[in-house]
Amino acid sequence: MNPVDFVIGHALQWGSVALLMIGLYIVMTRGNLIKKVAGLNIFQGGVFLFYISLSNVRDGTAPIVHEDAVLYTNPLPHVLILTAIVVAVATTSLALALIVRIRESYSSIEEDEMAKADLD
Amino acid sequence: MSLLQQLPALQVAVPLIGAPLCALMGRPRLAWMFAVVVAWITFAISVALLEHVLDAGPIHYTMGGWPEILGIAYVIDPLNALVLVLVSGMAAIIMPATRIGINVEVVHRARHLFHTMALLALAGMLGIAITGDIFNLYVFLEISSLASYALVAMGIDRRATRAAFHYLVQGTIGATFILVGIGLAYMMTGTLNMADMAARLPGVSHTAPVQAALAFVLIGTAIKAAIFPAHSWMPNAYTYAPSLVSAFFGATATKIGAYMLLRLVYSVFGADYAFGEMKIGWVLVPLGLAGAVAGSIVAVWQHDLRRMLAYSSVAQVGYIAAAIGFANHDGLIAAIVHVFNHGLMKGALFLVMACVIMRLGKADMESFRGLGRRMPLTMGCFVVAGLSMIGVPATVGFISKWYLVSSALDAGLWPLALVIVGASLIAVIYIWRVVDVAYFTDPPPGARDEAPAMLVIPAVVLCALCIVLGVTTDLTVGVANTAARLLGGAP
Of A20, A27, A90, the CB nearest to B169: A27
CB proximity under 8 Å: B 294-333 to A: none
Q: Would you say residue B211 has pLDDT above 50?
A: yes
Q: Determine, yes or no, domain membership for B423.
A: no
Model pLDDT for residues B324-350, shown as the tens digit of each residue: 998 888 888 999 999 999 999 999 999
Of all residues in chain B, the one with the smallest CA distance to A56 is B187
Model pLDDT for residues B80-106, shown as the tens digit of each residue: 999 999 999 999 999 998 888 888 888
Q: Are B94 and B347 in contact (CB under 8 A)?
A: yes
Give pLDDT, residue A1. 65
Interface check B40 vs A, CB under 8 A: no
Interface check A73 vs B, CB under 8 A: no
Contact A43 B173 (CB under 8 A): yes
Q: Determine, yes or no, domain membership for B64.
A: yes
Q: Determine, yes or no, domain membership for B357.
A: no
Residue from B319, B335, B333, B312 nearest B259 by CA? B335
The range of the structural domain enclosing residue A89 comes to: 3-119
Contact B186 A105 (CB under 8 A): no
Model pLDDT for residues A61-77, shown as the tens digit of each residue: 888 888 887 888 888 88
Model pLDDT for residues A93-103, shown as the tens digit of each residue: 999 999 999 99
Average pLDDT of span B411-429: 88
Whole-prediction pTM: 0.93
Q: How many domains does chain B have?
A: 1
Model pLDDT for residues A10-35, shown as the tens digit of each residue: 888 888 999 999 999 999 998 899 99
Share of chain B above pLDDT 70, in %: 98
Nearest-Cα distance to chain A for B375, in Å, is: 31
Nearest-Cα distance to chain A for B161, in Å, is: 6
Q: Please list every residue in chain B whose beta carbon sits closer than 8 Å to the beta carbon of residue A47.
A: 176, 179-180, 183
Give pLDDT, residue A91. 94
Q: Determine, yes or no, domain membership for B149.
A: yes
Model pLDDT for residues B11-44, shown as the tens digit of each residue: 999 999 999 998 888 788 888 999 999 999 999 9
Contact A27 B149 (CB under 8 A): no
Interface check B150 vs A, CB under 8 A: yes
Of all residues in chain B, the one with the smallest CA distance to A23 is B173
Q: Which residue has the higher pLDDT, B272 or B175?
A: B175
**Residue B394: what are its φ and ψ, rounded to 5°?**
75, 15
Contact A43 B150 (CB under 8 A): no
Q: Determine, yes or no, domain membership for B377.
A: no
Q: Would you say residue B490 has pLDDT above 60?
A: no
Model pLDDT for residues B106-119, shown as the tens digit of each residue: 887 778 888 999 99
Q: Are B243 and B351 in contact (CB under 8 A)?
A: yes
CA distance B282 to B324: 11
Q: Would you say residue B445 has pLDDT above 80?
A: no
Q: Determine, yes or no, domain membership for B245.
A: yes
The range of the structural domain enclosing residue B246 comes to: 3-278
Of B158, B180, B192, the CB nearest to A50: B180
Give pLDDT, residue B220. 94
Nearest-Cα distance to chain B for A102, in Å, is: 6
Q: How far is the CA of B108 from the CAs of B105, B117, B156, in angstroms?
A: 9, 15, 8
Of all residues in chain A, the one with the smallest CA distance to B152 is A98
Q: Determine, yes or no, domain membership for B111.
A: yes
Nearest-Cα distance to chain A for B189, in Å, is: 12
Q: Please list every residue in chain B whose beta carbon sits closer than 8 Å to the beta carbon of residue A108.
A: none
Mean pLDDT score of chain B: 88
Model pLDDT for residues B190-200, shown as the tens digit of each residue: 889 998 898 89
HEC secondary structure over chain B: CCHHHHHHHHHHHHHHHHHHHHHHHCCHHHHHHHHHHHHHHHHHHHHHHHHHHHHHCCEEEEHHHCCCCCCCEEEECHHHHHHHHHHHHHHHHHHHHHHHHHHHHECHHHHHHHHHHHHHHHHHHHHHHHECEHHHHHHHHHHHHHHHHHHHHCECCCHHHHHHHHHHHHHHHHHHHHHHHHHHHHHHHCCCEHHHHHHHHHHHCCCHHHHHHHHHHHHHHHHHHCCCCCCCCHHHHHHHCCHHHHHHHHHHHHHHHHHHHHHHHHHHHCHHHHHHHCCCHHHHHHHHHHHHHHHHHHHHCCCEHHHHHHHHHHHHHHHHHHHHHHCCHHHHHHHHHHHHHHHHHHHHHHHHHHHHHHHHCCCECHHHCCHHHHCHHHHHHHHHHHHHHHCCCCCHHHHHHHHHHHHHHHCCCHHHHHHHHHHHHHHHHHHHHHHHHHHCCCCCCCCCCCCCHHHHHHHHHHHHHHHHHHHCCHHHHHHHHHHHHHHCCCC
Q: Which of B176, B182, B192, B233 to mutate to test the interface with A (most CBs of A within 10 A)?
A: B176
Q: Determine, yes or no, domain membership for B412.
A: no
Give pLDDT, residue A37. 94
Interface check B168 vs A, CB under 8 A: yes
Q: Please list every residue in chain A whose beta carbon sits closer than 8 Å to the beta carbon of residue B149.
A: 94, 98
Q: Please list every residue in chain B whose beta carbon sits closer than 8 Å to the beta carbon of residue A24.
A: 173
Of all residues in chain B, the one with the smallest CA distance to A118 is B159
Give pLDDT, residue A113. 86
Q: Please list every residue in chain B whose beta carbon sits closer than 8 Å to the beta carbon of residue A27.
A: 169, 173
One-letter amino acid of B122: L
CATH code (residue A56) = 1.10.287.3510
Q: How many domains does chain A have?
A: 1
Contact A90 B142 (CB under 8 A): yes
